[in-house]
Structure formats: C-alpha cells, structure tokens
Chains A and B, each alone.
Chain A
Amino acid sequence: MSWFSSTRSVGLRKEQIPVPAPPEPDVHRSLALAALFQEIRGRRVTVLDLGSAVGSNVEFFSQYGCKLFIEDLYAALSSRTPSGEGDLAGPEFFSEFLSVPEDTRFDVILAWDRFNYLRRKELAYFGEQLRRYTHPGALAFALMSYHKQIPAQPYRFKVKDERSLIYDRRTAAERPSPRYVPAEVTGLLKGFRVDRSFLLQHGIQEYLLVRE
C-alpha cells in the first residue's frame, strides 16, 4: 500500500536549498478561534480540518464529541504538483480531494493558513467545493498572512486552549505570499461572508467566515 507515500513527498512547493532550522513554536492569542468555540459549544458538530493530523487537536476536539474529518490540503497539493510550477489545481482536483460521503455537511471548516497556499483561481474552485458540503450558517476559520513572504510549508497549528494557538513552524524557508485582502477573500469564496476578522500583531489576519 503506497497511498500515503505521496503525502510525504516534498515537491517544489517546499524550498529545495538547505535552510536553517525553523524557530521554536510560538503561542498567539486567537480571537476568531475563541469566537468559533463560543458558537459551537454544546453542539455536536462535523468539522473539516484542512491541516495535517495533530494529536493534541484531536484530543481537544474530543471534548466536543464531534465528528472530525482530516484532509491535509497542502499534502494533497504537494503530491499533485511536484515541480511546483504545474497547472492550476482545477475543480476535478478539489472534487477528488474532498471525497467525503455526499450527504456530509460540515459545520466547521478549519482552514488554518492553507488558503495562503492556493492561487486565486484555486481558492475559487475550492470555495465551490466547500460551499457544496456546508449548510448555511457553517463557519470557516482561516488565517491569512499580510507578510510578503510566508513559510515555504504551512504551519502546524495546535489548539492550546479555546483562545490561543501554537504556531509550529516546520521550515525556515519562505515563499511569496498571495496577500489576500478581505474583499478578495469573500470575492473568491463565493457563498461565504466575513463574520469577524481580526488583524493580529504578528501580521496574520484571522477570519471567521460564515456560509450564507
């Protein structure tokens, strides 16, 4: 069975040249995450986690008794375009990537910083898939970077508590950031509107999007 080998392939979405070790994980307050947990408290929700599988997050969400889908978007993109300069990931890619049962409807989408690793058209295609598998009122949590550069690989985010996140940077290498602005986000993610947005001191804009 080799179905996981691709997720370990690196591809050119990761920097090829040797780079220094990544810094130690940082802890940052998350206002949008706090708002998210306030919304879902007491409900049994279905969550889509677009990051990599993180044990402490699973343990954290276990207290909500939820159903958690883990689909590592970056790993799937990396395995698709090993050269890093391939064609855009189209609707077919995202349809295959999000191959969940047809009647699945997510209440919460944890996008983390993964939208930063999608080109604008890709974000629009992916938004269509997300809209398909969400009911109105579903929430999406996303972190967009305002920096010119972002880590060559996404952070590994760990929920420390309902109000704070651990940013675990996995590489010191960097790549250009798409620098999405709020109007672009809602323009590309059709069917979603910004419910709350917070610009944090470390150059990250937090979004809590809601499906209309």
Chain B
Amino acid sequence: MAWKRDDPPTPSHPEPTATTPPRPVATSAPAPSPVSNEPPRRTDRATIGPSIFIKGDLSGEEDLVIEGRVEGRVDLKQNNVTVGKNGKVSADIFGRVVTIEGEVDGNVFAREQAILRQSGAIRGNITAPRVILEDGSRFKGSIDMEPPKETGKPAAAVRTIEPQRETLQPEQPRETVRTEAAGVKATA
C-alpha cells in the first residue's frame, strides 16, 4: 500500500528568487487566506496599482505587476514583469519573463520568455528566446526570436536607450511609497 506523500504546495508565484533578501513589508499582492494555518508566503512581488501613474525609470530586484500607468522605462532584467489588464505602459520593458495582459506601447526585452495574453496589446518590438502570443491578442511590430547572447542581454538590445528623467506624480504619494518599500524603485 502506498502512502500519501505530502508534496509541498506549489508556489503561486512563478519563480521566487532565492537571492532576494526577505522583506518585512507586505506588498499589494493578494493576501493569504486568514484561516490558513500556513505561515504567510513571501511573494517578492510589487504591484503598481490602477490609480498610480509613474513617469520615469523603474528598476528593482523583485517581480513587478503593473496595473497602473507607466511612462519611461521598466528595467527588471532579473525578474518577472507583468502588465495587468488595467495596465498601460508607454515604455521599453526589460525583464526575465514579461507577461502582457494590458497595453504596451514600447519594446519588450525578455531574457527567457515574452507572453502576450489574449487581452493584451503591444505596439513595439519583442526580443526574447521564446514568445507566446495568445489568439485574440493584438500585436504590431517585430518579434526577434534569436537566443540570448552569452552576455545575458537580448540580441536586439543593441539599440541605445537613453535614460529618461522621471517624475513621480504627486497625487499618489502613498501608493508610490508602498511600491518602493516592496523593492521596486523609481530612480531619477
């Protein structure tokens, strides 16, 4: 008789990074169920809420979900970036796995994979070793599927992208602070 093996629960988060130090500050990711006996799972994921508008460069060392508006540049080469259904991004996005469910007007550089969901739209170029376009998604631009070079940079990233100045919109200071506390920061 075989005994029932208790497999550890599969993390809902795609790929937690072991190198990222734990942070005591809660992110805006979905909260664990209050009746759960398990200790709260560290998500290492920051969320830019629907009411947030960020103009400038975003960088950091943890995953990011964008549900608001971002103009500028999103640079999280080691982490996953998701533009949620409400997200509207006018920026080049650098990430490991980049998932688009909202709208992006800019280029997407993914080190591992770029995913354009059915609800998503991209006007720009995608550079990634693997690209998934779901039927019904909207795309205008080019897809460069050359494997990444040894430098870890996507092949098409030779395009020079000038750093841009940033302006945090003053009308949402509280949300911005929460985003920074979660490990993703906007830099001048």
Contact = CB atoms under 8 A, between A and B. Distances in A.
Interface of A: 1, 3-4, 7-8, 44, 53-55, 58-59, 61-62, 64-72, 100
Nearest to A62: B145
Given A67-B145, A70-B141, 12 more contacts: A3-B140, A4-B123, A7-B140, A8-B138, A44-B146, A53-B137, A53-B139, A54-B133, A55-B132, A62-B145, A67-B144, A69-B141
B143 A3 contact: no
Contacts of B147: 65
B142 A67 contact: yes
Interface residues of B, number: 24
Given A65-B146, A67-B145, A70-B143, A59 B132 contact: yes
Nearest to B159: A101
Contact of A1 (B103, B116, B144, B145): B103
Contacts of A67: 142-146
B11 to A, nearest CB: 26
A62 B130 contact: yes
Nearest to A68: B143
Given A1-B105, A62-B145, A54 B88 contact: no
B143 A58 contact: yes
Interface string B14-49: 000000000000000000000000000000000000
Contacts of A3: 105, 123, 140
Contact of A70 (B90, B103, B132, B139): B139
